[in-house]
Amino acid sequence: MAAIDAVLDAAGVKNSRVRDFVRQWAEHTGAARVEVVNASDDARLIAEAVEAGELLPAGEGRYYSRSHPKDTARSEERTVVATNNESDKGVYNNWKPASEMRPMLTERMKGASAGKTMYVVPYVMAPPGSPLQPYATGVELTDTRTVVLHMIRMARVGVEHVNELADPDYFVRGVHVTGDLDNLGQGTPDDQRYFVTIADERTILHYGSSYGGNALLGKIAHGLRQATYDGWASGKFLAEQFLLLGITDKQTGRTYHVCGGMPSASGKTNLAMILSPDALGDRYQVHFYGDDIAWLWVDPEDGRVYAINPEFGAFGVAKDTNEATNPTAVEAIAEGTGTIFTNVAYNEQTQDVWWEGRTKTPPADATGWRDWKGELISERSEAEKDAPWAHPNSRFTTTLANIPNIAPDYTNPKGVPVDAIIFGGRTRDREPLIRAITDLAEGVYDGLTLGAEATFAAEGTEGVLRYDPMSMRPFMAYSEGAYAAHWLKIIGAAKDQPIFAHVNWFQRGEDGRFLWPGYRDNLRPLLWLMQLRNGEVTGRQTPVGIVPTKEELQLEGMDDLRADDLETILSIDTHRWRQEMGHREEHLKLFPGMPEEIWEAHRRVAAGLEAEQG
Ligand code: GTP
Ligand code: MN
Ligand code: MN
């Protein structure tokens, strides 16, 4: 006890509630020592991690880590939202009573950090001075050094964030205990892992993983699950799995901001990082604000919706990142950026890294290369020969400041005014390139019926979407009906409402090829959307929204785009859509308390489709 106090004194931790929290859990988990972390400790912690073999050098100022092979992704089945009120139970939030979860996790964590260091990571998930900052402060306790190094990149970390709180007790308490990863029965009926957010007690208890979304408590557990709950409970804001970008028209000097949700692995990071296509580069400039989380609130002064990116870094999918698909990311993870790679392939002789899609084919000379599990490529058996070198969910972690087209005002405490909210699924048919929606309830309805194709049998039936409302399915913290009502209330309070749109980069031809080249060309439908909002184009009204005519899209430089493909991605397959409406109805019926405005929007769209010819 005395030793812990001495550490907290030396680190300048003055908040007595934080001190109590640290003392309690240090004793309970049996950690051998306590260390308080500031962002300025990064270089020393990196050196220690390299010395200990937790990180391997990957060229100048870059690092490589492998997670445990049983611990490579978020686990949705083991993730729980607990509260003291059963009415918080939703369809997707895996609700459990707090009275059951707190003792269970406390028991699992007892003595589980014995012999280890417990790092105290005070952080804030907001630009400094933000009106939402009170909801953004937290302290993560973790027994894993690489988790600390990731937190320093993904959140603003330092003791100063917890010392001067208006209410010293109002911070999120996060406890991360890794446990014995060899023996947790991951994925078996005897799985020991538990990732619990006790939302109404603002406490996060995660046990049994040291990987990304399971272990960086500031990011997903606080930045999304806790924040979406706080935003609703306070009645003040929305917290969404959204990207946020800015488009400046150099001809008019106007800047537009677009935010929106796409399910995991459906292109948020890629879209957030796009550059203008070459042919439009003289006129339009795109700026990055955020690639995974946005918090939205309405400023009563001007009646506009504002969005902040609460994060400090990007945790992006490595697969297919290359100079053609995402040159911005390539630069953001170059030497000298402090980037940490996780679960890509690594060459122990040259310290090089590689992943599928980095180059067309793997390095010709396999000497020194090991796959994400650490096995030498040259010693692979015949059966393993074609296995990917990198894990499909391998990632890079870099700070926002490394992103070359980061917006000049990305730390604006207020955030930026939102012109459009988009939803993007991954759909091989039915969904056109873009369809715009001007009605609030229809826009929210569209977000609630967002989905991505079922990719394998376990996830659903062929042709039926895996619905992922607003791309928040894995992060829902309260009931979906209340969530929809909260959306209508927050955005409905804006005098100047953003336009909504649904986008799809993934339509395929019968031969399986993508009909739209995607990536930086995705700016073109967004430009059309801004023109529609400005009244400069009118588009074509359909029962599911307004779609562009082909003359309205700025297609300069797209000489390879086939006229018939363009036709397809700008048209509505009425027959297919009527089918979809039946699935949507089943989906919406799952959610008790869905506001009548949402049902009315559903019926309007359905009636419009019925009235169509064909
Ligand atoms: P999380 O970080 O897990 O939330 O996912 P994300 O939404 O950020 O996904 P990300 O941007 O990393 O994209 C995932 C995959 O989609 C990658 O394999 C990309 O190459 C691919 N992708 C992104 N944009 C496009 C596009 O415009 N067209 C095509 N065909 N593929 C794309
Ligand atoms: Mn991403
Ligand atoms: Mn995400």
Comparing C-alpha atoms, which of 12, 274, 41 is closest to residue 162?
12
What number of other Cβ atoms are within 10 A of residue 379's Cβ?
A: 9
What number of other Cβ atoms are within 10 A of residue 413's Cβ?
A: 13
Comparing C-alpha atoms, which of 550, 614, 545, 604 is closest to residue 576?
614
pLDDT one-digit tens code per residue, 344-356 = 999 999 999 999 9
pLDDT of residue 405: 97
Nearest atom within ligand 1 for CA of residue 506: 30
CA nearest ligand 1 atom 26, residue? 518
Can you name the residues that pair with 602 across neighbouring β-strands? none
| Ligand whose nearest atom lies closest to the CA of 219 | 3
Comparing C-alpha atoms, which of 557, 600, 601, 575 is closest to residue 446?
601
Nearest atom within ligand 1 for CA of residue 471: 4
CA nearest ligand 1 atom 4, residue? 264
Active site annotation includes 266: yes
340-342/63-65 β-pairing? parallel
pLDDT of residue 455: 58
Determine the Cα–Cα distance for residues 593 and 517; give it in Å rounded to an integer: 40
Determine the Cα–Cα distance for residues 273 and 406; give it in Å rounded to an integer: 9
Amino acid identity of residue 557, one-letter, is: G
pLDDT one-digit tens code per residue, 20-48 = 999 999 999 999 999 999 999 999 999 99
C-alpha 272 – ligand 2 centre gap (Å): 9
CA 457 from chain centre, in angstroms, equals 25
**3's tokens:** 């030793």
Sites in the chain below the pLDDT cut of 70:
1, 454-463, 614
CA nearest ligand 1 atom 22, residue? 267
pLDDT of residue 273: 98
pLDDT of residue 465: 84
pLDDT of residue 459: 44
**109's tokens:** 């964590």
Q: Which protein residues are within 6 Å of ligand 1, measured from CB? A: 262, 264-270, 291-292, 316-317, 319-320, 325, 505-506, 514, 518-519, 522
pLDDT one-digit tens code per residue, 448-461 = 999 988 654 444 55
What number of other Cβ atoms are within 10 A of residue 22's Cβ?
A: 26
Determine the Cα–Cα distance for residues 136 and 201; give it in Å rounded to an integer: 15
C-alpha 372 – ligand 1 centre gap (Å): 21
The answer to whether the CB of 565 falls within 8 A of the CB of 516 is: yes
Determine the Cα–Cα distance for residues 168 and 393; give it in Å rounded to an integer: 38
Comparing C-alpha atoms, which of 378, 385, 218, 199 is closest to residue 293?
218
294-299/540-542 β-pairing? unpaired
